[in-house]
Amino acid sequence: MTDSRTTGPNKTGPNDKMPMTEKEWREKLTPEQFHVTREHGTERAFSHPYHTEKREGMYRCVGCGTGLFSSETKFDSGTGWPSFTDVAAADTVTKHEDNNFGMRRVEVRCANCEAHLGHVFPDGPGSTGQRYCINGCALDLDPGADGDAAD
């Protein structure tokens, strides 16, 4: 018998991080958030206000609240999506090869709930050289929170 829970780390088993059914995710998230984070979709460029957001704080996963990106690493990439040079902590995201649409990219997911966040590219400014191009609807800004992902 198949389980109605999502695949990957969210399936039932001894190493569950955040097991939720598709129905539970749909109740928790807006339709756009569900499409982006659970179905690996992409929001339209320039459609979310976080691409121009200037307030300080911690950008958290909309699915589970994990601190993912500090505003200290946010920059304007001109792409229409919030962009960051680094993650708040190395263990907060996972990276996965993505060869969809005839492109070779690196997908970024929340390490806790497996939410699809966006992609990381090797063309960013600063010492990391990374550009984390993240869907704004996958994030929830916690204004004033410092750069500690555990806050």
Three-state DSSP class for residue 124 = coil
Instruction: Give CA–CA dist 85/73, Å, rounded.
Output: 5
Instruction: Give CA–CA dist 132/123, Å, rounded.
Output: 10
Residue 115: HSE in the Cβ half-sphere, 13 Å Cα cutoff: 34
Burial 2-28 (b: 16+ CB within 10 A, else e): eeebbeebbeeeeeeebebeeeebeee
H or E element in which residue 70 lies: strand 67-70
Residues comprising the chain, all counted: 151
Three-state DSSP class for residue 134 = strand
> What residues are labeled active site?
133
